[in-house]
Amino acid sequence: MGKDKKVALITDGRFSGGSRGAAIGHVSPEAATRGPIAALRDGDIIKIDIPNYKLEVELSDKEMTERLAQLAEFEPKVKTGYLRYYAEKVGPASTGAVFK
């Protein structure tokens, strides 16, 4: 498709199949905790600064705040079993994704 030279994959989760082009995974804080990644929309421009370990979206603070305020409260999709327990008891990737 040729997009691997112009588009990066950025996610707060795991991913597979991202074997071409730029890819940044396990972004933290996660969308589930209303991290900035939750406010992103298709077409937003994100500056990737690898030497300084930074991602910056081209949005004003006001726009970011407004978008985050419009989000519904996060509701885990899994309601039963081990994945529900994991979602409730394990912290974010930034702290090692270990039990709280």
Q: What is the mean pLDDT of residues 29-45?
A: 92
Residue 90: what are its φ and ψ, rounded to 5°?
A: -105, 135
Whether the link from the prior residue into 36 is cis, omega within 30° of 0, is no
What local confidence, expressed as pLDDT, does residue 69 receive? 95
Half-sphere exposure of 5 (CA within 13 A, CB side): 2
Is the pLDDT assigned to residue 30 strictly greater than 70?
A: yes
At 1, the pLDDT band (50, 70, 90 cuts) reads low
Inter-residue contact 26 to 13 (CB < 8 Å): yes
- DSSP lists the bridge partners of residue 54 as 49
Selection from 1, 6, 89 nearest residue 46 by Cα? 6
User: Which residues have a catalytic role annotated?
Assistant: 16
